[in-house]
Amino acid sequence: MVPLRPVWQAPKVVREKRPLRDLSKAVMRPFAAGLALAAIGMVAVHAEDAKKPDPALANQLNPNDKTAEPDEKLLAKDAAVKVEDGKYFDAAGAPTFHVTDNGKKVDWYSYSGYRRYHAECHVCHGPDGMGSTYAPALKDSLKYLSYEEFVGIVVGGKQDVNSSTQKVMPAFGDNKNVTCYMDDLYVYLKARAAGAMGRVRPGEKEDKPEAARKQEKECLGG
Ligand code: HEC
């Protein structure tokens, strides 16, 4: 019988005496390689791509949702310039959200990210990315964190060394329920940060893309 412990107690990996920075490097290595490859792929694709938002991919927000707090600058920056197998990308090549039908419908990844967030992250970061006394509001953090920074923190964890309160963001690098849905989580929180999604459970969603099915199977099965 494994004794129950409070959720905010860091998993064993963080409690080791090793400095956190070393740890995150070790955990990051396989991911860094993958990321580097992904980055190269993105650059190659983007050399030929138009960087302008595609009007056909424009977001259609719900003007009546007072919980959404739209941020025009971020909405412009995060606007999709292309879609590939149901996954949307912004001009920087990072995955992004796509909200349509007056805010009633979201892309698959935003929907999936909403579910994953509320399975793995909300206990500390609060429902809908609103934050708690223990952990920061990710709807604010994602206003400035890049995709790479986000992945780095989620995989390797984070500990505020100057804080006397010892608050720890656990490393999720070996948790497939998180790593296999990294883009989903990022896209959902980015939509919250830009105010494209409010504090409501997404209603309709785009169909689950074949690419998502394939990636999920490979990631969870490997
Ligand atoms: C056990 C509690 C806990 C869980 C569960 C947790 N976090 Fe955290 N997280 C924290 C704490 C505490 C911090 C602040 C750490 C610091 O600043 O040193 C943090 C920080 C972060 C940051 C950096 C925010 C910033 O402003 O710098 C990101 C991004 C993040 N968490 C994402 C996630 C995601 C995504 C999940 C779910 C997969 C998650 N966290 C689950 C406790 C948690």
Q: What is the SS3 assignment for 53? A: coil
Bridge partners of residue 205, in order along the sequence: 106
**For residue 31, what pLDDT is reported?**
54
From CA 204, how far away is CA 67, in angstroms rounded?
18
* Shortest-distance Cα residue to atom 27 of ligand 1: 141
The Cβ of residue 144 has, within 10 Å, a number of other Cβ atoms equal to 9
Please name the residues in contact with 96: beta carbons below 8 A apart, sequence gap of 6 or more: 78, 79, 80, 88, 89, 90, 187, 190
**For residue 51, what pLDDT is reported?**
79
If you search the block for the tokens 């689950």, which residue do you land on? Answer: 208
Bridge partners of residue 89, in order along the sequence: 82, 95
Give the pLDDT means over successive 10-residue stretches in the chain (222 positions). Answer: 47 41 46 50 49 92 95 97 97 97 96 98 98 97 98 94 81 97 98 97 96 97 77
From CA 205, how far away is CA 203, in angstroms rounded?
7
**For residue 50, what pLDDT is reported?**
59
13 Cα: distance to centroid of ligand 1 (angstroms): 15
Name the nearest CA neighbour of 154 among 115, 192, 180, 128: 180
Which residues line the pocket of ligand 1, CB cutoff 6 A?
7-8, 120-121, 123-125, 134-136, 138, 141, 145, 150, 153-154, 158-160, 167-170, 172, 178, 185
Please state the atom number of ligand 1 nearest to the C-alpha of residue 150.
29
If you search the block for the tokens 């991911």, which residue do you land on? Answer: 31
Work out whether strand 158-159 and strand 99-100 pair parallel, antiparallel, or are unpaired: unpaired
**For residue 43, what pLDDT is reported?**
46
**For residue 88, what pLDDT is reported?**
98
Name the nearest CA neighbour of 86 among 179, 215, 192, 203: 215
From CA 196, how far away is CA 177, in angstroms rounded?
25
- Helices and strands: H and E segment counts in the chain: 10, 8
Test site for ligand 1: of 149, 163, 169, 192, most ligand atoms within 8 A of the Cβ: 169
**For residue 154, what pLDDT is reported?**
98
**For residue 48, what pLDDT is reported?**
47
**For residue 162, what pLDDT is reported?**
74
138 Cα: distance to centroid of ligand 1 (angstroms): 8
Domains assigned to the chain: 19-221 (1.10.760.10)
Work out whether strand 105-106 and strand 87-89 pair parallel, antiparallel, or are unpaired: unpaired
CA dihedral 122, 177, 198, 110 (to 10 degrees): 170
135 close to 129: Cβ distance less than 8 angstroms: no
**For residue 161, what pLDDT is reported?**
74
